[in-house]
Amino acid sequence: MKLGLPFIFAAFLVLFGFEVLPSTLHAEDVKSKNEAESNLTSRFVTVIVELRAKQGTGNDLVATFKKVLPFTRESEGIISIELIHNQDDPDALVFIERWETRSHYEQYFAQRKEAGALDTLAEVIEGELSIRYFDQTGA
């Protein structure tokens, strides 16, 4: 059986652990993409809000938030908001929010508190809200 030169060359590379390096053009593309992402990530704050619905009411609370969140998405300074729940405990809910600044979120939160929304929320959750603020690392 006669083996072709390309097969022998490929076998040689595999056997001796040589790897084909990306072209310089590709490396430059990756570098500029990473730089663009680093610039983007320093421009917002991520807010994580955790709460626990009263026993067995997590799905009902999610349905309520589905009606309310479109209004939140119109708030000044908001980039995105997402509500997730624990697969093993649907009463455990987490908001992942991105805001232009922490100040934007704090103004929004103060408005919601003043309007009485937090008092209403307190009636359907257990315990307190956990609110944490995160900056992007660019990593």
| pLDDT at res. 32 | 53
Looking at the DSSP bridge assignments, the partners of residue 125 are 53
| pLDDT at res. 101 | 97
**Is the separation of the CB atoms in 86 and 16 below 8 Å?**
no
**Is the separation of the CB atoms in 102 and 133 below 8 Å?**
yes
In this structure, what are the phi and psi dihedrals at residue 133, rounded to the nearest 5 degrees?
A: -115, 135
| pLDDT at res. 10 | 38
pTM of the complete model: 0.70
Low-confidence spans in the chain with pLDDT less than 70: 1-42
Task: Give the domains, in start order, of the chain with CATH numbers.
Answer: 44-135 (3.30.70.100)
According to DSSP H, which parts of 3-72 are helical?
5-15, 24-41, 58-72
